[in-house]
Structure 1
Amino acid sequence: MNKNQEPELEQVSALARRYFRSTAFQIEREPSGVSTYVYRIAASGGIFYLRILPEQEMSFAPEVHVHRLLLQKGVQVPEVLHFEPVHEELGLSVMLVREIPGVHAGQVTSQASYERVMENAGSQLALVHGIPVDGFGWIRRGRNEDGAVLRGENRSAEEQLLEFLEDDVQFLSEKLFSKAEGSIIRRVMERGLPLMGRHEPRLVHGDFDDSHIFQDNGIYTGIIDFGEIQGSSPLYDLGHFKLHDGQRHKGFPALCEGYRSVVPLTAWDRLEIDLWAVWIGVRRLGIVARRSPHAGYVHHLLNRVRELLDVVSRQL
């Protein structure tokens, strides 16, 4: 997909003036916005984030629909205040959301506070997974899509799981893993595929770690950034969190405790979570190792994939 040039700040300010019907605000580019142009706006009513999709053929419609569905279910996510499928001047999709107060959970000062936040997040994550999706993989965001129907790019879990697996394993066996480790990954994924594909597709956050869980002085305030929503097994997000757990604090057991308060987790579910963690780790390594990787992140992923691979290979 071709990305449009980032809008000038004055163009974005003009949007904000129209939305707020005022000039009494401060606006700045949020540096964390990469796949989406994000602007932080401080106004009399609080803090807001204006998001602009870079791709002209894409729309925020499915994401807006997800936010509204989740708020109806009682999930604490940003409220969408304005949405334009196509802004006339920019030719791009635009949405304005209200801030979730606080900072990400990794900034809590104690392990006990972190675990309380994770438990609350776990119970809310289970509600996210209650939303059905038509198909697997990335949610379709094209302008011709009906935003009220969430559709995945793939028709089966097998398509989603196998699309990049062999290429990633082949590449990583030459760069990061040993040949023996590559063979173990192939065997584990082949045997685990039926377990990972047993569910009807459900909405998953797609990038669920503690950087997207917010808290204010140790009190859970919500989940942010649904820019990577997918249709998948409901255990995908738990696998993603487990893969990334421990970068700041350990929170996976507390997250599962909260999740279990809404949806039970069986022994088979726990094995599937580990399988997803391995699969996501291999896919993520296959992406970042082909670029200029952040050495610390690659090191974390390698260690976690190896640890989890050892666990699941003894069970399959």
Structure 2
Amino acid sequence: MEEVKVVVAHAERATLRVGDVFLKVDSDQARIDVEVEAMALVPVPTPEVLWRKPPVLAIAAVSGSALGRLGEPSTASPAAWAAAGAAIRKLHDAPLPPWPGRGRGLDGLAAELDAECERLVTKGVLPADLVTRNRQVAEAALRPWAPVFIHGDLQIAHVFVDDDEVTGIIDWSEAGQGDALYDLATLTLGHEEHLGDVIAGYGSDIDIAVIRAWWSLRSLLAVRWLVEHGFDPSAPGCEIDVLRSRM
């Protein structure tokens, strides 16, 4: 009998692994709609969709190992990180998806960031000076950008590699039109030492200040949600350490 492993679980969604099959249970079927459509459109390796019966989506496991984990040193080679950068560039060069994405416009994002910073301070989640400094750094991300096809949640654990080749990119529920540098920043969050490898594979001039801005912005928006959903953003190398590195 195959063991059932809980990969992730919180109030919004859960992912279970049974052998070589992942079962994703999501209360928001729009997220699953996006995931299935995105995987059918993108020019990069993705998991095979086995079946779908709302609220469950079954997908096959991809070969290889995750590029790494947030809060842990990555054992992947520089060539593997560069291969990830090349795959992201291929995604960003693809035709835009027919849906706009689930993100906010610039004004909405700035307003959400300001409100979240205020909550972090008033609720005593983070020190005021840490929040203020990172809000200043985050400002560089709040500029117009030409939209590209982005993954939208390109965490390091969502990119699988084998023998320095990308074998699969998973979890496409946040895919849509967005800022290319957001994907690059999400992938390298907490792994700044590999940013150069990713850029080498991506093959384009990158504004490092904007990458750092997205590190701060994403971390500021994530900390309280992570705490409320049972995760620990204060673990070594995770979001709070990312924020401290800007001081």
Whether TM-score is above 0.5 comes out as yes
* Bigger CA radius of gyration: 1
Give, in whole Å, the separation in 1 of the partners of 2:107 and 2:95.
18
Q: 1:119 aligns with which of 82, 92, 97?
A: 82
> 1:130 maps to what in 2?
93
- Is 1:270–2:208 an aligned residue pair? yes
Residues 183/99 of structure 1: CA separation in 2 closer, same or farther (3 Å cut) = closer
Q: So what's the TM-score if we normalise by structure 1?
A: 0.64
Q: How well do the aligned residues superpose, as a CA RMSD in angstroms?
A: 3.2
Quick one: which amino acid aligns to residue 174 of structure 2? Answer: E
Gaps of 5+ in 1: 1-25, 134-147, 311-316
Q: 2:128 aligns with which of 179, 198, 223?
A: 179
Deviations 1:88-108 (A, max 9, x none): xxxx2443323211221238x
- Is 1:207–2:153 an aligned residue pair? yes
Q: 2:118 aligns with which of 148, 159, 170?
A: 170
> 2:45 maps to what in 1?
76
Residues 229/111 of structure 1: CA separation in 2 closer, same or farther (3 Å cut) = closer
Task: Quote the sequence identity (%).
Answer: 21
Residues 59/178 of structure 1: CA separation in 2 closer, same or farther (3 Å cut) = closer
Conservation of the 8 A alpha-carbon contact between 1:121 and 1:222: no
Residues 278/30 of structure 1: CA separation in 2 closer, same or farther (3 Å cut) = same
Give, in whole Å, the separation in 1 of the partners of 2:185 and 2:8.
24
- Is 1:152–2:115 an aligned residue pair? no
Residues 98/198 of structure 1: CA separation in 2 closer, same or farther (3 Å cut) = same
Matching of residues 1-316 of structure 1 within 5 Å: 28-34=3-9, 35-42=12-19, 47-55=20-28, 58=30, 60-70=32-42, 73=43, 75-83=44-52, 87=53, 92-106=54-68, 113-131=76-94, 149-153=98-102, 156-159=105-108, 161-174=109-122, 175-190=124-139, 192=140, 196-216=142-162, 219-245=165-191, 250-260=193-203, 264-266=204-206, 269-290=207-228, 292-294=230-232, 296-297=234-235, 300-307=238-245, 309-310=246-247
Conservation of the 8 A alpha-carbon contact between 1:157 and 1:232: no
Quick one: which amino acid aligns to residue 211 of structure 1? Answer: A
Conservation of the 8 A alpha-carbon contact between 1:169 and 1:185: no
Residues 289/50 of structure 1: CA separation in 2 closer, same or farther (3 Å cut) = closer
Give, in whole Å, the separation in 1 of the partners of 2:233 and 2:50.
39
- Larger deviation: 114-123 or 220-229? 220-229
* Distance apart, 1:238 and its partner CA: 1.4
Conservation of the 8 A alpha-carbon contact between 1:152 and 1:230: yes
Give, in whole Å, the separation in 2 of the partners of 1:154 and 1:218.
32
Conservation of the 8 A alpha-carbon contact between 2:7 and 2:16: no
Q: So what's the TM-score if we normalise by structure 2?
A: 0.79
Conservation of the 8 A alpha-carbon contact between 1:212 and 1:225: yes
* Distance apart, 1:259 and its partner CA: 1.0
Q: Which has the higher relative contact order, 1 or 2, with Cα contacts under 8 A spaced 6 or more apart?
A: 2
Give, in whole Å, the separation in 1 of the partners of 2:6 and 2:31.
22
* Distance apart, 1:202 and its partner CA: 2.6
Gaps of 5+ in 2: none
* Distance apart, 1:276 and its partner CA: 0.8
Residues 200/243 of structure 1: CA separation in 2 closer, same or farther (3 Å cut) = same
